[in-house]
Amino acid sequence: MLFLQEFIIFTIILALFFDFINGFHDSANAISTVVATKVLTPIRAVGMAAVGNLIGPVFFSTAIAATIGKGIIDLNGVAPMILVTLIFSALVGAIVWDLITWYVGLPTSSSHALVGGLVGGGLAALGSGSIIPSGVEKVVVFMIVSPIIGMVAAFILTTIVIRAFYHVSPTRINRYFKSLQLFSAFFYSVTHGTNDAQKTMGIITVLLVAYGSLTTFAVPLWVILAAHISISLGTFFGGWRIVKTMAQKITKLRPYQGFCAETSGGLVLASMAALGVPVSTTHVISSSIMGVGATDKLSAVRWGIARKIVGAWILTIPASAVMSFTTYFIISGIL
């Protein structure tokens, strides 16, 4: 029992480290547009994003945490040691994939890496019967739908802005939207933090239930605060390789385009958080940037880079699942 307690504590620490890596890896989501348009310096941008991530719990429920904690793998009646080993393996798979894609500068989804890790760990520990099809289907469907919504919404919003300011000089437009982009970037940071931090909340709450600290799945306040602090710290330290890809390589952004990308992306994330649907903040903002770039002309978007990004999206769930699956058997052999 003592070893189980220590293992659970270590796994909770690993979950918070995953949240830190999530913020580090996904800082590009929150700051790439505001850095690309030179509205804020990188240091000021990550500071603003960290604050936005931290205050996310003020505005949103923990519906996404419940989806991750109870909607991907059926953990009812699972022995505590098996459950903790499964979650530990899922976190390792997600962290390793995040670090690999950070190193090569690809903006992939930490959320989907965690889902893939849970699927891989579940298959290794409990077999295919433990996978909840409806939960995995929801994630996969919105992996496709949310970027499309983000791209279309950004394209429409940008088109409206262009028409509304058609007779205004570019200098005045840039001046207006440099100010507005501060608000849109902060709004996106809030929705990014609440969406991504909730995944870790779900994982930690499952561990607390397994240990007996909680009798029902209800996210404690300290878990909410710890998850948001961890992701905020990760965002502050920033994953600059991915920032470069997002800010410079997809398309050239002007302030009004940055505003439209952040606003449309934030609205998509806020809607999904309210519905309890775990979507990728990376997918949403990447596609929103593509959407605003396409309003100039299709060739304004560097589609070669976009194809590489989409390819990494597709690989994320199976790659992290394989890593988690392998990790489970390694850890089981050691224990």
No. of helices (H) and no. of strands (E), the chain: 12, 0
Task: Please state, in angstroms and rounded to a whole number, the distance separating the CA atoms of residues 130 and 74.
Answer: 5
Q: How remote is the C-alpha of 136 from its chain's centroid?
A: 16
For residue 201, give Cα distances in angstroms to 244, 274, 278, 326.
Answer: 29, 16, 13, 24
pLDDT at 260: 92
Mean pLDDT for 196-221 is 88
CB atoms within 10 A of CB 127: 9
Nearest to 117 by CA among 133, 93, 140: 93
Q: For residue 32, what are its two tokens?
A: 């790439």
Angle at 231 between CA 228 and CA 232, to 5 degrees: 80
pLDDT, tens only, 74-128: 888 889 899 999 999 999 999 999 888 878 777 677 888 999 999 999 999 999 8
Query: What is the pTM assigned to this prediction?
Result: 0.84
Confidence of residue 10 (pLDDT cuts 50, 70, 90): very high
Supply the mean pLDDT for the chain. Answer: 83
pLDDT, tens only, 229-275: 898 888 777 655 555 555 455 456 788 888 998 899 999 988 888 87
Q: Say yes or no to pLDDT of 31 above 80.
A: no
Instruction: With beta carbons less than 8 A apart as the criterion, state whether 289 and 319 touch.
Output: no
Q: Say yes or no to pLDDT of 135 above 70.
A: yes
pLDDT at 247: 47
